[in-house]
Structure 1
Amino acid sequence: MKEEMEIKLSENILKFTLERKNVKHINLRIKSDGSIFVSANLELSIEAIENFIRKKEHLILNHLEKVEDDKNIYKESDKRYIPGETFIFLGRAVRLKVIKSLEEYIKTDGVYIYLYIKNPDNFNKKKNMMESYYADFSKKIFGEILENIYPKFKKYGVNLPKIKIRKMTKRWGSCLYKKEAIILNKKLIEIDRECIEYVVLHELSHFVHPNHSKDFYNLVTVFMPDWKKRKARLEEQGKYLKL
């Protein structure tokens, strides 16, 4: 017996298919298209099933985010990597200069980003060099911010989490508290540093309160009294993304 159900979580309404079976435990499965199936014993109450789903909220949302990423819903604007093209780092626009050189590397002075390359017409090489530069720069900045904020959470028994960076279609960041990891959107490196600090603090706070309860926001306020202003700036720069 199958039944279409929905449940209101902290920020989302989740639809799922409930199937009653002769099973001992509640089983939850998310298919590759994002549809959710729950199987449970006939004698188990709806309330018990909903409580089970609420406890799995973060796991479910993170998995659904991965499904959306795999669908490539969000497409970045195509870059041509030509002189004068604009790139964004930490909220500031810099112009690209492509320079023919035997030694290949990238540097920036905050106004221009200089790409030194043997063959300035080699699109794939320029693309790979720029993507690698963005990735390395992101790891450095995100790592610095995490190291600066993390000490506030030591007294709560929170271990220093790993940072994972990937393309995300709907969120700026996500917390995998069981895996002791924080996922950050790769586009976050284009946002100003104070907003990145807010995202990191927000996700760290989920290791103490894995929801968006009053206690969660009280903790965020204690550590970052101006978080609402930072959140507003963040939303201006990415209306399609949330935390």
Structure 2
Amino acid sequence: MTSDVFHLPYGDQLIEFILVRRDRKTLAINVHPDQKVEVVAPLTATLESIFEKVHKRAPWVRQQIQYFEQFQPRTPPRVYVAGETYRYLGRQYKLKISRAIQNSVKMQRGQIIVSTTKPQQSDQTRELVREWFLKRAKIKFAERLLISQDRFPDPKQMAPNNLLVRELSHRWGSMTAKRNLVLNRSLIGASTEAIDYVITHELCHIEYLHHGPEFYDLLRRVMPDWETRKAKLERQMA
């Protein structure tokens, strides 16, 4: 029996699944309560046929994931009012809202300052804050990608085709079959050490699509302290 991890693009999301090959005649798809997707396929099945069947069942898979999602512990939803704290590059910042004739967002002296024409409307504050964080994420992730590529013997060979920033539910990043690096927009809350770990981890998937021994050998060579960084990420973003 062998197992590997793959990612299937579905709409603007990615479905991550563990592929397990067994001596059997049919393919089975299981979604577990922890929202992990397991695909059990015959030893002789081609990747193309497996992806085709998973894609056909993708609506059902997403439905099952959403069903189990309701039982997961949830953090309080943001209300986008003054005094709320937001994490950016590993540090906490308080939200300050002020009335202005033009909308803007800036960071200053431990605060995220939102100047808005409608300070009483949390919906507008929400859009301004989310747009600001998304812009900062795209800029910072691009910077950290170049730094992370330099960890490898041939940085150019480890360049993804595209860097995409998305809202992901259950992972910090992924490398698609088309060599697109997808990062969770919420990762901007982590420190640069933790961000670099996620990016480097995904770059290793350019060489190895699975999480086998070869994958971790490469990750350890280019980032010997990856386990410390991973633990830091989990502490910061818990």
Q: Normalization by structure 2: what TM-score?
A: 0.72
* 1:184–1:78 CA distance, 2 compared to 1 (3 A): same
The secondary structure found in structure 1 opposite 2:149 is helix
* 1:233–1:124 CA distance, 2 compared to 1 (3 A): same
Cα distance in 2 between the residues matched to 1:194 and 1:97: 28
* 1:212–1:78 CA distance, 2 compared to 1 (3 A): same
Could you tell me how far 1:154 is from its partner in structure 2?
Answer: 3.5
Name the counterpart of 2:131: 132
Could you tell me how far 1:14 is from its partner in structure 2?
Answer: 5.6
Name the counterpart of 2:10: none
Name the counterpart of 1:23: none
Could you tell me how far 1:69 is from its partner in structure 2?
Answer: 11
Name the counterpart of 1:217: 216
Contact 1:150 1:160 in 2 (8 A): no
Aligned positions of 1:1-243 closer than 5 A: 9-10=3-4, 12=18, 46-49=42-45, 52=46, 67=62, 71=66, 73=69, 77-151=76-150, 152=152, 154=154, 157-176=157-176, 178-238=177-237
* 1:238–1:116 CA distance, 2 compared to 1 (3 A): closer
Q: Normalization by structure 1: what TM-score?
A: 0.71
| Bigger radius of gyration | 1
Aligned residues: 211
Cα distance in 1 between the residues matched to 2:63 and 2:169: 7
* 1:77–1:229 CA distance, 2 compared to 1 (3 A): same
Cα distance in 2 between the residues matched to 1:208 and 1:99: 49
> Which deviations, in whole Å up to 9, do the C-alpha atoms of 1:129-166 show, x marking residues without a partner?
01101110111111110122224364673443312222
One-letter code aligned to 1:9: S
Cα distance in 1 between the residues matched to 2:49 and 2:159: 21
Could you tell me how far 1:226 is from its partner in structure 2?
Answer: 1.1
Could you tell me how far 1:117 is from its partner in structure 2?
Answer: 0.7
* 1:153–1:174 CA distance, 2 compared to 1 (3 A): farther
Percent of residue pairs identical? 23
Cα distance in 2 between the residues matched to 1:116 and 1:19: 62
* 1:182–1:229 CA distance, 2 compared to 1 (3 A): same
Cα distance in 2 between the residues matched to 1:112 and 1:67: 38
* 1:229–1:9 CA distance, 2 compared to 1 (3 A): same
Cα distance in 2 between the residues matched to 1:78 and 1:138: 21
Name the counterpart of 1:43: none
Could you tell me how far 1:119 is from its partner in structure 2?
Answer: 1.7
* 1:182–1:234 CA distance, 2 compared to 1 (3 A): same
* 1:225–1:9 CA distance, 2 compared to 1 (3 A): same
Cα distance in 1 between the residues matched to 2:63 and 2:218: 30
* 1:68–1:147 CA distance, 2 compared to 1 (3 A): farther
The secondary structure found in structure 2 opposite 1:196 is helix
Could you tell me how far 1:15 is from its partner in structure 2?
Answer: 10
Gaps of 5+ in 2: 6-17, 31-36
Contact 1:29 1:36 in 2 (8 A): yes
> Which deviations, in whole Å up to 9, do the C-alpha atoms of 1:84-125 show, x marking residues without a partner?
111111121111111111121000125111000112112211
Could you tell me how far 1:8 is from its partner in structure 2?
Answer: 5.6
